[in-house]
Structure 1
Amino acid sequence: MPTYTCTSPAGGLDPDRRAGLAAAITLAHSEVTGAAAGFAQVVFCDVAVGGFFVGGRPLDGSTLFIRGEIRAGRSARERDRLVARLIADAAEASGLPRHAIWIYIAELPARCMAEFGHVLPEPGDEEAWIAALPGEARARIAGGRPSE
């Protein structure tokens, strides 16, 4: 349900750091929002040197941009906690200083999102949503696998 896209300069994060970062983002989202960890998606995108600009200048050095698309309906307090937690945990997992971590959280109405072939539930309604899914979809969710 939540999708976090991590964008950084090519070669800036080795596979171990990526795995640690994916685990940290997943845990932070789950613990702060109460959503099942198995729903969290983390995608990594590398940008070639000279391919990312800030203020009209090419980005130099290591910076990590994390854009999280989550379902709308979380309180302002939860969103504040999520952003603070993501900054701290991403800095630790990536080995980058906190000032190099940029976080963006975008909220989407649940009715504008579909996974496993079904429109997503409102936050807090996940159990009933899962129970109403066909058996194959429930099995995929339990296994953390998208459709093959």
Structure 2
Amino acid sequence: MKQASKEAKMPTYVCSLSEGFVNDSQKAAIAEAVTRIHSEETGAPSYFVQVVIEEKKSADRFLGGSRAAGQIWIRGDIRAGRTQAQRNAMMLRIMKEVARITNAKEEEIWVYLCNLEPTDMLEYGHVLPQPGEEADWFNRLPKPLQDYLAQLGTTKDTFTL
């Protein structure tokens, strides 16, 4: 079996910030925090979560037509079906964690969540499940893929929703 790609995962959170604003350990801390928050709030396994840190030159960022520096913008493409309470909790927790990690002001961190239908996403060679159906989806995967996902820290025994 061809090894599953580590590149295309849902949800995908893209964190755009000024070049050099954070160091490598802060980038890792942001990725860990976003992954943890998404998994805790939705029950989805962490192997679904991808975090991309994009550094931009300050000249690339404008607010109201003026150059802006220090703004952190996080866009999360997530599966539709999450409640408003879940989405609000994720956005607020992500904002607070990123502010703590980067020492940025909370009002300088903008979080947008964009809902995509699960049937519009394919990962690991399979169309994604509806929220809450992850365990059944996992159980239907080929054994080599289950083993690969287990290497990422999730197994049938440790799978929780």
| Length-normalised TM-score, structure 2 | 0.84
Amino acid at match of 2:150: A
- Give the one of 62, 67, 72 matched to 1:64: 72
Secondary structure of the structure 1 residue equivalent to 2:59? coil
For 2:135 and 2:15, how far apart are their aligned partners in 1?
A: 28
Give the paired residue count.
Answer: 144
Which deviates more from structure 2 when the two are superposed, residues 131-140 or residues 24-33? Answer: 131-140
- Give the one of 65, 72, 81 matched to 2:89: 81
Unaligned residue ranges in structure 1 (runs of 5+): none
Q: CA deviation at 1:136?
A: 2.3
Secondary structure of the structure 2 residue equivalent to 1:140? helix
Secondary structure of the structure 1 residue equivalent to 2:44? coil
In structure 2, the residue matched to 1:29 is 38
Matched, 1:6 2:18: no
Q: CA deviation at 1:142?
A: 2.0
Deviation digits for residues 48-72 of structure 1 (CA, Å, limit 9, x no counterpart): 2311111111112x12111011100
Matched, 1:39 2:39: no
Amino acid at match of 1:123: P
Map residues 133-148 of structure 1 onto 2, 5 A cutoff: 133-144=141-152
Structure 1 vs Structure 2 CA RMSD: 1.4
In structure 2, the residue matched to 1:105 is 113
In structure 2, the residue matched to 1:116 is 124
Q: Identity of aligned pairs, percent? A: 36
- Give the one of 25, 28, 35 matched to 1:16: 25
Amino acid at match of 2:130: E
| Length-normalised TM-score, structure 1 | 0.91
For 1:137 and 1:55, how far apart are their aligned partners in 2?
A: 47
For 1:100 and 1:115, how far apart are their aligned partners in 2?
A: 33
For 1:56 and 1:126, how far apart are their aligned partners in 2?
A: 43
